[in-house]
Amino acid sequence: MQPSPTQTGRWRALQAHAQRLRAMRTLELFTRDPQRVTRCSAQACGLYLDYAKQRLDAAAIDALIALAEERELAQWRERLFAGDCVNGTEARPALHMALRAPRGARFIDSRHGDVLADVHATLDAMRRFAGAVRGGGWRGATGAAITDVVNIGIGGSDFGPRMVCEALRPFVDGPRPRFVANVDPADLNDVLAGLAPATTLFVVVSKTFTTQETLANARRARSWLVESLGEAAVAHHFVAVSTNVREVALFGIAPANMFGFWDWVGGRYSLWSAVGLSAMLALGPERFDALLAGAHAMDRHFIEAPAAANLPVLLGLIGIWNSNFLGCASQVVVPYAQRLALFCGWLQQLEMESNGKGVDRDGRTVDHPTTPALWGSVGSNAQHAYFQMLHQGPAVHAIDFILPVEGDAGCDEMQRMLVANCLAQSAALMRGKSVHEVRAELQATGLSGAALEAAVPHRVFPGDRPSNTLLLPRLDPAHLGALLALYEHRAFVQGVIWGVNSFDQWGVELGKQLTRRILDRQSDAVIDPSTAVLMQRTGLRR
Ligand code: F6P
């Protein structure tokens, strides 16, 4: 049994480093170390990470790496890739890296042996199906070609393919991808409003095929189709992605129209499996392959690169440093790329479902914060929303800026503006503006006396607000794959340091149980008086 990380000498050493560095301006660190920009940067798979704006120096980085060694990060990474049951509470491996490994690689599920043959058999089946739908070989019940694909799924069965289709929109040349997740009927209604049954294909995605929201949407979609095309049309317009053949068959989708995956694929790590089918249909098999190849390249980097040059290790340790040692209030992620508008939602599930845990692997209550609240949205829009708080609010938040350098062709001037905005924000957050500077600025405008003094405090920026900047050459399938795998491994690194199981999610169960009870009107014994009244007022109980 590993002790809590807080009980180690390495943790205490890091607390001392934090105290030392809190007393120093970040800008001063550049003066002290002329090599800082080189030292505090790393690159892999085309991605460049600048972390020179963090309140870190070489000694603190070494201490963080020493903490990772003490927490046996290398050994846990080996166990992860070896297919050991790293998901202890469910006695399963977490082998999502196998989903993007090329033929010939070896990935072993410690319980059942080699998984790669199954992975590639499924990928081949997906490619054949995508080729047929895109090429017109697979048609709807009336003989019309498929023009729209509706992915019905939620959580990990939605965020990944939805975000990828949005991020790679210029590469979409197949049927139009649509997504329905919410059990709010408005979601499905709005999507169906623009569609014709004869040209619509539904992909029902659910690892368990028992998720209430997904099944409710799938049933309504099925009725919508059957009403106009009849029962026999289901076989032409519905396919399933699941691990649960029995439930899929009970729903009325034949096993021949099902794409499988395995219990060792966690929902939030499942984009690379058949869960990505809607993305493959939209983008085509080659681009989906490029996405997988980018992620695989990041897997290799994660295994091979030394800690000090390892992007997932560095990002993970910097996150720990900011939240556990510098006390940052949250993790903000701001992509300066409109097409990454859904990235944050995907990342929220990845990080907060993975590491939002209050007990360690052995079931002991943790004595330190685990994953911070993660939020964000695209820049430059975000600058006109919550950046005021990031710059001048009393709490300090850690920020990741993500910036594809090259934008859409023929729009160089606007892309330059976007890039300049991104760089200006991270610089301003670090630099701040002192009382002295503000006073000088105001004096130059002619202000003086009491009016000047009253104006000064409102215009001061404390600075020293830490950020990473991650550059991608452009938003294409390979670089997107690498970016997503980078954050997946970052979550793993942090889970290892905190000592939690990053691959289960028991915290979602109680709400599901109570929903069922409320729907069954079993309120009296289990529901508190407040909820009982709300049930009455909403018509759930008379
Ligand atoms: O949110 C809980 C959860 O179990 C996620 O982990 C998962 O991605 C989502 O529900 C959907 O589950 P399924 O794919 O089984 O429908």
The string of pLDDT tens digits covering residues 346-376 is 999 999 999 999 999 999 999 999 999 999 9
In angstroms, rounded to a whole number, what is the distance separating the alpha carbons of residues 96 and 269? 6
508 lines ligand 1 (CB under 6 A): yes
Q: Looking at residue 388, what is its pLDDT? A: 98
In 336-353, which positions are buried (b, 16+ CB within 10 angstroms) versus exposed (e)?
bbbbbebbbbbbbbbbbb
Mean per-residue pLDDT, 492-496:
98
Q: Looking at residue 367, what is its pLDDT? A: 97
Confidence band of 521 (pLDDT split at 50, 70, 90): confident
DSSP state of 324: I
Q: Is the pLDDT of residue 523 over 60?
A: no
Q: CA angle at residue 218 from 100 to 134, to 5 degrees?
A: 50
Mean per-residue pLDDT, 449-464:
98
Confidence band of 211 (pLDDT split at 50, 70, 90): very high
Find where tokens 């009244």 sit.
533
Residue of the nearest CA to atom 1 in ligand 1? 155
Cα(161) to ligand 1 centroid in Å equals: 14
Q: Is the pLDDT of residue 121 over 60?
A: yes
Catalytic residues: 353, 384, 512
In angstroms, rounded to a whole number, what is the distance separating the alpha carbons of residues 467 and 265? 32
Pairing of strands 113-114, 258-260: unpaired
Q: Which residue has the higher pLDDT, 171 or 529?
A: 171
Task: Enter the tokens of residue 81.
Answer: 């890739």
What is the H or E stretch that residue 76 is in?
A: helix 73-81
In angstroms, rounded to a whole number, what is the distance separating the alpha carbons of residues 99 and 118? 10
Residue 242 CA: nearest ligand 1 atom is 14
Residue 154 CA: nearest ligand 1 atom is 11
Name the residue of 211, 272, 275 whose CB sits within 8 Å of the most ligand 1 atoms, as the mutation to test its pocket.
Answer: 211
Indicate yes or no: pTM above 0.95: yes
Task: Enter the tokens of residue 144.
Answer: 């019309």
Q: Looking at residue 20, what is its pLDDT? A: 98
469 lines ligand 1 (CB under 6 A): no
Mean pLDDT of the chain: 97
Q: Is the pLDDT of residue 522 over 70?
A: no
Is the bond into 380 cis (omega within 30 degrees of 0)? Answer: yes
- Collapsing DSSP to helix, strand or coil, 152 comes out as strand
Find where tokens 């990002």 sit.
315
DSSP state of 528: -
In angstroms, rounded to a whole number, what is the distance separating the alpha carbons of residues 71 and 2? 8
Q: Is the pLDDT of residue 456 over 70?
A: yes
Q: Looking at residue 527, what is its pLDDT? A: 84
Give percent of the chain with pLDDT exceeding 90: 96
Cα(156) to ligand 1 centroid in Å equals: 6
Question: What sign has the CA pseudo-torsion 334, 337, 338, 340?
Answer: negative
Mean per-residue pLDDT, 237-253:
97
In angstroms, rounded to a whole number, what is the distance separating the alpha carbons of residues 150 and 178? 5
In angstroms, rounded to a whole number, what is the distance separating the alpha carbons of residues 62 and 281? 46
Q: Looking at residue 541, what is its pLDDT? A: 82
505 lines ligand 1 (CB under 6 A): yes
**CB-side exposure of 39: number of CA atoms within 13 Å?**
16
In angstroms, rounded to a whole number, what is the distance separating the alpha carbons of residues 70 and 62? 12
In angstroms, rounded to a whole number, what is the distance separating the alpha carbons of residues 140 and 275? 22
List, in sequence order, every residue forming a beta bridge with 48; answer none if it has no partner.
43, 471
Q: Looking at residue 444, what is its pLDDT? A: 98
Q: Looking at residue 332, what is its pLDDT? A: 98
Q: Looking at residue 524, what is its pLDDT? A: 62
503 lines ligand 1 (CB under 6 A): no
pLDDT tens digits, 413-436:
999 999 999 999 999 999 999 999
Name the residue of 503, 508, 510 whose CB sits within 8 Å of the most ligand 1 atoms, as the mutation to test its pocket.
Answer: 508
206 lines ligand 1 (CB under 6 A): yes
Judge whether 401 and 425 are in contact, CB under 8 Å: yes
Q: Is the pLDDT of residue 493 over 90?
A: yes
506 lines ligand 1 (CB under 6 A): no
Give percent of the chain with pLDDT exceeding 70: 99
Judge whether 146 and 132 are in contact, CB under 8 Å: no
Q: Is the pLDDT of residue 515 over 70?
A: yes
CB atoms within 10 A of CB 256: 7
Q: Is the pLDDT of residue 308 over 60?
A: yes
Long-range contacts of 3-11 (CB under 8 A, 24+ apart): 4/360, 4/364, 4/366, 4/367, 4/368, 4/499, 5/67, 5/70, 5/71, 5/368, 5/497, 5/498, 5/499, 6/367, 6/368, 8/67, 8/70, 10/63, 10/66, 10/67, 10/70, 11/67
In angstroms, rounded to a whole number, what is the distance separating the alpha carbons of residues 159 and 462? 36
DSSP calls for 163-210: HHHHHTGGG--SSEEEEE--SSHHHHHHHHHT--GGGEEEEEE-SSS-
Mean per-residue pLDDT, 105-134:
97
